[in-house]
């Protein structure tokens, strides 16, 4: 995975910036999609849709949401956020890793290698599509 991380960092240095994925702060990363920072997009793991509710209508940057299916936050909350973003025509992607626990990408990565590999591929692809 470290090789992929280095590749991702190289992509970020190509001119377009993206907010890095923050496993423990997904909501904060998603909120940046509504900010005036010159970001190419934002990426966040887990998160709490309720913490993004007040800026949902202002999101104007591409958003990648990587969701643990067995997280403490009910899946229905993520589904509602996804539906609202879709209805508003906001560019976003949401992937749910069924049965994966919170922190599957870091603390439990050895037990969730397939999900981690898929999530990392999606992160790099998201960055690549937005890099100049």
Domains of the chain (ranges, CATH numbers): 2-130 (3.40.50.1820)
For β-strands 42-45 and 92-97, DSSP reports them as unpaired
Distances from the Cα of 100 to the Cα of 37, 45, 95, 109, 117, angstroms? 32, 12, 12, 10, 13
DSSP type of residue 111: T
pLDDT computed for residue 123 by the predictor: 92
Strands (DSSP E) along 46-91, which ranges? 63-68
Residue 62 backbone phi and psi in degrees, to 5: -60, 145
The tokens describing 33, both together, are 């999609």
pLDDT in tens, 46-59: 888 999 999 999 99
Give the C-alpha separation, 46 to 78, whole Å: 9
End-to-end CA distance of the chain: 24
Listed residue (125, 123, 121, 103) closest to 112, CA to CA: 103
Give the mean model confidence (pLDDT) for residues 95-110: 77
pLDDT in tens, 3-28: 444 444 444 444 445 544 444 478 88
């Amino acid at each position: 995975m470290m090789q992929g991380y280095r590749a991702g960092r190289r992509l970020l240095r190509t001119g377009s910036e993206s907010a890095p994925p923050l496993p423990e702060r997904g909501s904060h990363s998603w909120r940046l999609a509504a900010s005036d920072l010159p970001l190419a997009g934002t990426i966040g793991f887990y998160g709490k849709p309720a913490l993004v509710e007040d800026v949902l209508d202002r999101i104007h940057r591409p958003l990648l949401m990587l969701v643990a299916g067995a997280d403490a936050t009910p899946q229905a909350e993520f589904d509602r956020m996804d539906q609202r973003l879709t209805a508003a025509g906001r560019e976003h992607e949401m992937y749910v890793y069924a049965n994966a626990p919170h922190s599957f990408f870091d603390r439990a990565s050895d037990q969730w290698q397939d999900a981690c590999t898929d999530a990392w591929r999606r992160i790099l692809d998201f960055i690549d599509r937005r890099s100049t």
